[in-house]
Amino acid sequence: MSEAAERRAVPFGDSEYWVERYEREAEDGFEWYPGAESIVCEELSHLTSEERGWRWLEIGSGSSALASKLAGEHSSATLCVSDVAPNVVATMKERLLQGGAQNLEFAVLDATSMKCIRSESMDLVFDKGTLDAIDCLDHEHAGTSRCLSEVRRVLNPGGSYLLVSCREPEGRRRDFELGGLRLVKTVEIKGVDPRCPCPDAYLFLVQKAETVP
C-alpha cells in the first residue's frame, strides 16, 4: 500500500476521529511534524518586526506545541487557537493560560467553514498538517478547496498563510492558485523526526491574491 493510500485508510478528515483520539491521548501532546514549529517561527521572524495589533489564527492546533511557541515568542500579537475537536481546545486553553501566555483566544471550528471568524480579520493563518488531514476527506479535494477559500476569506489584504504539509510542491501550488492564493516561498523540511508518519514535509509561505481565478 502506498503512503497516500495508508493515510486515506485512517479517517484523518473525520472530526469524530480527532475527538476520540484526543480523549485517548488525554494530556499528551502530539506533533504531526515534530520540529517544524521552530522552522515556522524562523520564517515568521522574516515577515515582520512589528506585530503589535496583529491578529493571527492557527487552524487545527491539536495538542501541538506550535501555539505555545508562537504565544511565547510573539506576545504582542493576538493569537486565536482553534480546532474542530472541543476537547483538545479545552486542553490547550488550560495548558496555555496556566503557562502564563497572553493575548490568546480560543475557538472550536471547522477549517472548511470558519463562520465564527470575520472576513478580512486575520493577518496570518498557521496550519501544521491540518490541510493534509482535510485532503483525506475525499478524492476530489472538495474539502481542500473549501479550506483554502476560507483561509483567503479571513485573511486581510496582503495577509499570509504559513502551511506545513507533506504534499509535493507542484500539487500544493495548484491548490493555492485555485483558492485565490499565491505561493511565495517553499522550504523543504527533511527528516524532522523518525517517529513522524510523514517525516519529510514542506513549509509553504502563501499570500492572499488580489483576485480569485
Q: Tens of pLDDT along 26-66?
A: 666 667 787 788 888 888 888 866 666 899 999 999 888 88
Rounded Cα–Cα distance for residues 208 and 201 (Å): 22
| pLDDT exceeds 90 at position 115 | yes
Q: Nearest-CA neighbor of 206 among 114, 136, 125, 93? A: 125
pLDDT in the model for residue 29: 64
- Residue pair 58/82 in contact by the 8 Å Cβ criterion: yes
Please tell me the pTM assigned to this model: 0.87
State the DSSP code for 187: E
Residue 69 burial class via C-beta count within 10 angstroms: exposed 0-12, middle 13-18, buried 19 and up = middle
What average pLDDT does range 161-189 have in this prediction? 94
Q: Where are the alpha helices (DSSP H) in the chain?
A: 3-9, 15-25, 36-47, 66-73, 86-98, 130-135, 142-154, 169-178
Condensed to tens digits (0 to 9), the pLDDT of residues 146-163 reads: 999 999 999 999 999 999
Domains of the chain, by residue range, sit at: 3-208
Of 3.30.930.10, 3.40.50.150, 3.30.360.10, 3.40.190.10, the CATH number of 3-208 is 3.40.50.150
Mean pLDDT over all residues of the chain? 85
**Residue predicted with more confidence, 193 or 70:** 70
Rounded Cα–Cα distance for residues 138 and 129 (Å): 16
Adjacency order of strands within the sheet including 55-59: 104-108, 78-83, 55-59, 122-128, 155-165, 201-208, 181-189
pLDDT in the model for residue 4: 46
pLDDT in the model for residue 14: 73
Residue 141 backbone class (left: φ over 0; alpha: ψ -120 to 50; beta: rest): left
Percent of the chain exceeding pLDDT 70 equals: 83
